[in-house]
Amino acid sequence: MRNRVYNLQEMKHAAFPSGVTRETLIHWFREGRARTKEIFRIPVPAAYFDRPIALRNPIVFYEGHLPAFCINTLIKLALGREGIDERLEVLFARGIDPDSEDAVKDPGSVWPSREAVQAYGTTADAIIERVLSGETIEDERVPQLRGAEAAFAILEHEQMHQETLLYMLHNLPFDRKVARAPLAGASGTSGALPTPREPNEPIAIPAGMVTLGADRSTLGFAWDNELPAQRVEVEAFSIDRHSVTNGDWLEFMRATGASAPHFWREVEGSWHRVGMFTLEPLPLDAAVYVTHEEAEAYARWKGKRLPTEAEYHRAAYGTPSGEERLYPWGDASPDETRGNFGFTQWDPVPVGSYPAGASAWGVHDLVGNGWEWTSTVFEGFPGFEPMASYPVYSSDFFDGQHYVMKGASPVTARELIRPSFRNWFRPNYPYVYAKFRCVA
Ligand SMILES: [Fe+2]
């Protein structure tokens, strides 16, 4: 094996946001990698080269992509050092083009064996831990910021992929995966609080200012599409207390002949929800996952529309006094009483199950139980600059073909929950864990 010399100087002296220590980063890294390993135990071994979503890479790609991204981003790009295996780092940077001939070849001729992928991962993990712990070699050529930004980028990248991996595995047939309890352990039914649910009525929100995005100085780390902070005025509007449920969607289908969402299946004449591991009679009170196009069609039928990104912020973080909160419920850290996020459930629960997570206006489930679709086309804020450690992260998607989603799904990690975090998808992509509500 080649000798590798890493430039860790700037990692030793990198300025991290207050309260963040190297121990925090290493703990976060280990926790992230451990959860990823749990996720890769979900598909049965025979499914390793399956492509549960036709336009995505097979499962094998993602097991290699996560460690390769760490090496490509932190070691090669930010620190300017050699990687471990150039061939794997190219293959796992982008994978294959699923429309090309590669896709129809024998998987073994394109992809390494699982043993080789896992061995690469083990080597990469050890290197990343050494770097995060600040082991040092003298060299001051690399600007300090890049190492710190890249460290956060790899940590959050891992968690974001855990969610997209789970969308993908959701789409595997039940007999190709091994059912298991939610990854966060046994906080179990905390989601399904037996509250008498308040009716789903429109809540009036007065005009006011909102802050979109964030400043790096206050946040420590943010993706490029969150920067810089913007103050935006929002007109008065009304927003539904609850997101749209399966029961609501059924009514819409019956009234208009609209189709069933991707996550539904008809069994012997009655509709069922295809959960992560279970097929169950449609839970009528649970939030419905739909595409942006479907959400818009429903809102039109109601004579309403989807909220803009700014309206979402006003409903989620605004208060009657004009102050903005860190979370809909206030400034306390996200925990399992505030919403369905952080891997405590696999699937959406009844809307309004988390009264302790309601916003200042009494709007429920704005963070958790599925991302919320907005009518805002994804683009950079004025002053956008691509980030040094991952320049194509956002800018590749500023094509007018993607819409902003806000909040969190059941399998969004708590560390990703912050007001400025933005997610985005195509309007017709059916696999994503996204719900919606209407405004007028
Ligand atoms: Fe990635």
Q: Residue 158: how many CA atoms within 13 Å on its side-chain side?
A: 28
Residue 68 CA to ligand 1 centre (angstroms): 9
Please give the DSSP secondary-structure letter assigned to residue 377: E
Residue 69 CA to ligand 1 centre (angstroms): 7
- Alpha carbon distances (Å) from 327 to 35, 316, 331, 341, 434: 25, 7, 6, 13, 19
Residues above pLDDT 90, as percent of the chain: 75
Q: How many residues does the chain have?
A: 440
Query: In this predicted structure, what is the pLDDT of residue 218?
Result: 63
Residue 298 CA to ligand 1 centre (angstroms): 32
Residue 193 CA to ligand 1 centre (angstroms): 36
Residues above pLDDT 70, as percent of the chain: 86
In tens, the pLDDT along 408-425 reads 999 999 999 999 999 999
Residue 129 CA to ligand 1 centre (angstroms): 19
Residue with structure tokens 């803009």?
308
Structure confidence at residue 42 as a pLDDT band (50, 70, 90): very high
Residue 66 CA to ligand 1 centre (angstroms): 7
Residue 373 CA to ligand 1 centre (angstroms): 22
Omega before residue 52 within 30° of 0, cis: no
Residue 62 CA to ligand 1 centre (angstroms): 8
Alpha carbon dihedral 165, 170, 176, 180, in 10-degree steps, equals 90
Residue 295 CA to ligand 1 centre (angstroms): 27
Q: Residue 96: how many CA atoms within 13 Å on its side-chain side?
A: 21
User: Whole-prediction pTM value?
Assistant: 0.91
Model confidence at 359: pLDDT above 70: yes
Structure confidence at residue 254 as a pLDDT band (50, 70, 90): very high
Backbone torsion region of residue 383, taken as left when φ is above 0, otherwise alpha when ψ lies between -120 and 50, otherwise beta: left
Q: Are 386 and 149 in contact (CB under 8 A)?
A: no
In tens, the pLDDT along 360-403 reads 999 999 999 999 999 999 999 999 999 888 888 999 999 999 99
- Return all residues near 3 (Cβ < 8 A) that are at least 6 apart: none
Residue 108 CA to ligand 1 centre (angstroms): 22
Expressed in angstroms, the distance from the first to the final Cα of the chain is 63
Structure confidence at residue 219 as a pLDDT band (50, 70, 90): low
Residue 396 CA to ligand 1 centre (angstroms): 13
Residue 431 CA to ligand 1 centre (angstroms): 17
Average pLDDT in the 101-119 region?
81
Residue with structure tokens 């004449």?
269
Average pLDDT in the 250-267 region?
98
Nearest to 136 by CA among 5, 21, 22, 4: 5
Q: Are 413 and 342 in contact (CB under 8 A)?
A: yes
DSSP lists the bridge partners of residue 232 as: 210
Alpha carbon dihedral 419, 425, 431, 436, in 10-degree steps, equals 50
In tens, the pLDDT along 139-160 reads 444 444 456 788 889 999 999 9
Residue with structure tokens 């940590």?
155
Residue 161 CA to ligand 1 centre (angstroms): 7
Residue 353 CA to ligand 1 centre (angstroms): 33
DSSP3 helix / strand / coil % (the chain, rounded to 5): 35, 15, 50
Residue 135 CA to ligand 1 centre (angstroms): 26
Task: Print the SS3 string covering 261-274.
Answer: CCCEEEECCEEEEE
Residue 157 CA to ligand 1 centre (angstroms): 6
Question: Residue 45 carries which side chain, given as an amino acid letter?
Answer: P
- Return all residues near 315 (Cβ < 8 A) that are at least 6 apart: 203, 205, 239, 307, 359, 361, 363, 366
> How far apart are the C-alpha atoms of 244 and 290, rounded to whole Å?
10
